[in-house]
A and B are shown apart, each in its own frame.
Chain A
Amino acid sequence: MNKRKLEEAFFKALMLLSTSIVVGGLLAVFAVVILKGAPALSFSMLTQTPKGGYYLGKEGGILNAIIGSLYLAIGATALAFLLSLPIALYLNEYAGKSRFASFTRLSLDVLWGIPSIVYGAFAFIIMLYVGARASLLWGIITVTIFVFPIMTRAIDEVMKMSPFKLREASYALGSTRLETALKVVTRQTLPGMLTAVLLAFGRGIGDAASVLLTAGYTDSVPRSLFDPVATLPLAVFFQLGTPIPEVQQRAYASGVVLLVLVLLLSIASRLSTRKFMKYVVK
Chain B
Amino acid sequence: MFKPHISVRRLNVFYREHHVLKDITVDIPEKRITALIGPSGCGKTTLLKSLNRLTDLVDGVKVSGDVLVDGLNVFDNGADVTDIRKKMGLIAQMPNPLPMSIYDNIAYGPRIHGVKDGKELDQVVEHCLQAASLWNEVKERLKDPASKLSVGQQQRLCLARALAVQPECLLCDEPTSALDPISAQYIETQLLTLKKDYTIVFVTHVLRQARRLADYIMFLYLGELIEHGPAETVLTQPSNPRTRAYIEGVFG
Contact = CB atoms under 8 A, between A and B. Distances in A.
B96 A168 contact: yes
A279 B57 CA distance: 25
Given A279-B147, A280-B147, A281-B147, A170 B98 contact: yes
14 contacts: A97-B59, A166-B99, A169-B90, A170-B108, A171-B85, A174-B82, A174-B83, A174-B86, A175-B112, A176-B82, A188-B99, A279-B99, A279-B146, A281-B146
Interface stretch (B11-19, B157-165, B241-249): B157-165
A174 B112 contact: yes
A173 B163 CA distance: 10
Interface residues on A, range: 20 to 34
A280 B165 CA distance: 23
Interface of A: 96-97, 163-176, 179, 183-184, 187-188, 278-282
A173 B99 contact: no
B53 to A, nearest CB: 9
Given A173-B165, A176-B82, A187-B99, A168 B57 contact: yes
B92 A169 contact: yes
User: What's the interface size class on B, roughly?
Assistant: 20 to 34
B100 A279 contact: yes
B80 to A, nearest CB: 9
Tell me the dominant secondary structure on chain A's binding face.
Answer: helix
A282 B83 CA distance: 29
Interface of B: 52, 54, 57, 59, 82-86, 88-90, 92, 94, 96-101, 108-109, 112-113, 145-147, 158, 161-162, 165
B57 A173 contact: no
B77 to A, nearest CB: 17
B112 A179 contact: yes
B15 to A, nearest CB: 13
A278 B145 contact: yes
Nearest to A170: B98
The winner among B90, B99, B109, B112 for most chain A CB atoms within 10 A is: B99
A260 B83 CA distance: 53
Nearest to A163: B96
Contacts of A183: 108, 112
B34 to A, nearest CB: 18
B112 to A, nearest CB: 5
A279 B158 CA distance: 16
Contacts of B96: 163, 165-166, 168-169, 281
Contacts of B59: 96-97
Contacts of B57: 164, 167-168, 171
A215 B121 CA distance: 52
Contacts of A174: 82-86, 109, 112-113, 165
B86 A173 contact: yes
Contacts of A166: 96, 98-99
